[in-house]
Amino acid sequence: MIPVQGFDGQKVAVLGLGRSGLATAAALKAGGATPLLWDDSPESRARAEAAGWTCHDLTRNDAFEGVAALITSPGIPHLYPTPNRHIARAMAEGIPVDNDIGLFFRSWATPEWDNFDTPPRTVCVTGSNGKSTTTALIHHILAHAGRPTQMAGNIGRGVLDIDPATDGEVVVLELSSYQTDLARALTPDIAVFTNLSPDHLDRHGGPGGYFAAKRRLFAEGGPDRAVIGVDEPEGIYLANQLAMRREDDRVIRVSSARKLGDYGWSVFARKGFLAEWRKGRQVASIDLREVKGLPGAHNHQNACAAFAATRALGLSPRLIEEAFHSFAGLPHRSQTIAEKAGVRFVNDSKATNVDSAEKALEAFDNIRWIAGGLGKEGGVTALRAHLGKVKKAYFIGHSGRDFALELAPLAHEICETMEAAVAAAARDAEAGDTVLLAPAAASFDQYPNFEKRGEHFAELVARLPG
């Protein structure tokens, strides 16, 4: 646990009593503060009370009397589409509003660091797609190299739930736009921007607000090194804003689409080969085609970003390449779960939007595609240009029939349920085919989250004869 600094002897309200909220309350208490817990959900309050906490009703007129700050969970809106009433009241009364990420950065460094030979460092990863894989890959490379490391944030443990720093440790954090948007302190040593595609637009008031939330990690965070994916206009803009000149090697540009040899420092992948260039010449190369845990161009972009971040930490290309080959990938992200009678079954349940589904469809051949769920704004017509490898689609969930209409004349079957889709795809599949779950939709019509959807797919595949 990271005891929160700066609130000793003060009352701090905590709004939202999920995993991060309860970890925040414990960290505040460990730092000498008095946490005042609240959640509008009676079930969440009951769970907190069962864990030994006392709730403090923020609906009372005097609820914020003497409160030094309000710490809110990331999922609670503070501005768009409508501010949560407790956050709006705190802001109106002049009470600072923060989240656990802001508390982490104000509390991570301690006087004990003066005794370390090597100061601990933080690597923060944000973006629309690939940030979980990139975060996990950076963490895996560091562990493979024998460097002390922890992983937290939007993946693994909550940031305040990790252990205090050790000499030379590197903490790798995955940060969503919800987390970077409100944090009052952001001071990463290395910050990574993977890419940007439309998502969470209602929460941020449109694409500009969404990008601005992620940009804060760089513009206000002031990292020593910035690893920037430049395959979209926003990444090009961000790299341009951060670099003082073309040769500025504090900005490492990353691409999975084109050569980037003319900058101070760049890492790119073309035709399955990763190349690192510095000051106009190539200094390293890795063949990514046989790295089983990182299939497809989208994962090659993740590999480039992780390579750049760990090179900035001083690791050698040879050591990074070794770690690539031992990386198993993350569950629900282009994860090969089985091969039966020459048919590959891939779980990419995390492909919840059009952009991530597009990348999955480009990564495999001879695809039997399982898609559908709770469709997102804008539909899936943008995927028409990426169906060349799809032999047949098997549509499920609330938006299954809409997907079929939008993607006509794609060969398809309306299956409604995952059980029917897996059975139909397995029935049709031939040796050399890939049965790919890449829904291009949220899961909430049939599952509580994308993880449960992916787990159900894996369970059904496991039952197939084999």
The catalytic residues are 131, 154, 200
* Sign of the alpha-carbon dihedral angle for 302, 307, 313, 319: positive
Cα(154)–Cα(313) distance, integer angstroms: 22
- Which residue ranges are tagged as binding site for ATP? 127-133
* 445 backbone dihedrals φ, ψ, rounded to 5°: -75, -30
Task: Indicate the Cα dihedral angle 137, 185, 254, 315, nearest 10°.
Answer: -50
Farthest-apart Cα atoms in the chain, separation: 68
Q: Other C-beta atoms within 10 Å of 463: how many? A: 12
- Which residue ranges are tagged as binding site? 127-133
Closest CA to 230 of 200, 259, 270: 259
Classify each residue of 167-204 as buried b or exposed e, where b means 16 or more C-beta atoms within 10 Å of its C-beta: eebbbbbbbbbbbbbbbebbbbbbbbbbbbbebbbebb
What secondary structure, in 3-state letters, does 210-271 show?
HHHHHHHHHHCCCCCEEEEECCCHHHHHHHHHHCCCCCCCCEEEEECCCCCCCCCEEEEEEC
Task: Indicate the Cα dihedral angle 50, 24, 179, 162, nearest 10°.
Answer: -110
Closest CA to 313 of 190, 206, 165: 190
Cα(51)–Cα(47) distance, integer angstroms: 6
Distances in Å between the Cα of 67 and the Cα atoms of 34, 35, 64, 402 are 10, 10, 5, 50
SS3 116: coil
Q: Integer distance in angstroms from the first to the last C-alpha of the chain?
A: 46
Q: What is the DSSP letter of 352?
A: -
Task: Indicate the Cα dihedral angle 138, 140, 142, 147, nearest 10°.
Answer: 150
SS3 371: strand
Contact, 375 vs 398, CB < 8 A?
yes
